[in-house]
Amino acid sequence: MTLRNDISDIVLSEEKIISLAKSLGEKITEDYKDKNPLLVGLLKGSIMFMGDLIKYIDTHVEIDFMDVSSYSGTKSSGDVKIIKDLNQSVEDRHILFVEDIIDTGQTLNAIIDLIEYRKAASVEIVTLLDKPANRKVDVDVKYVGTEIPDGFVVGYGLDFDEKYRNLPYIGLLKPEIYQ
Ligand code: XMP
Ligand code: MG
């Protein structure tokens, strides 16, 4: 049995992911020239996307990570808990959140409020995937790789119960695996 057996469809291939990272990186390069933005990845789902995205940003950036939890199993809850905070101050910094997927929007909504309260100069979001069908709160997402329909996806950092993060592509998990 390979991991591929648990995937019904490949939603984004490795090649497609790289081409999306490249075009988002180019836009971010334009918008953040000489602003020395702090890219904040949300652990753990964003690790692969952070790694690929920054290769295509051709201006100085710094990176950091936060770990927040709002998710257990396959359903999102409004509860956001900070497990690991940033290592530095965001005051007067341009903050760009790097997300794997935006689903209900609740996680980022809560964290953006916190970062604004800490007096960031600006706060924007880049996400590889957007599932607008599931949105519960409004979030303004400046950079979106691609929209995907509702359905539980794994791979490229995204997990189901901590598994499948190591797949190099994004795939739809067969419902019999999580039901
Ligand atoms: P919200 O709902 O607050 O949550 O926008 C975003 C976070 O929820 C996780 N998430 C998923 N994880 N497959 C996953 O592996 C999915 O289809 C999925 N949808 C949401 C993810 O951690 C994201 O950062
Ligand atoms: Mg996440």
| Atom number in ligand 1 closest to CA 152 | 17
Nearest ligand atom owner, CA of 67? 2
CA 45 to centroid of ligand 1, rounded, Å: 8
**Over the stretch 116-161, which tens digit does the pLDDT of each residue have?**
999 999 999 999 999 999 999 999 999 999 999 999 999 999 999 9
Note the pLDDT of residue 80. 77
- Asked whether the beta carbons of 79 and 88 are under 8 A apart, the reply is no
Q: pLDDT grade, residue 28 (50/70/90)? A: very high
Distance CA 90, CA 87 (A): 10
Question: Is the bond leading into 44 cis (omega within 30 degrees of zero)?
Answer: yes
Q: Which domains does the chain have, with CATH numbers?
A: 14-150 (3.40.50.2020)
101: how many CB neighbours lie within 10 A of its CB? Answer: 21
Note the pLDDT of residue 78. 56
| Closest of 149, 150, 177 to residue 163, by C-alpha | 177
CA 142 to centroid of ligand 2, rounded, Å: 17
Please state the pTM of the whole predicted model. 0.93
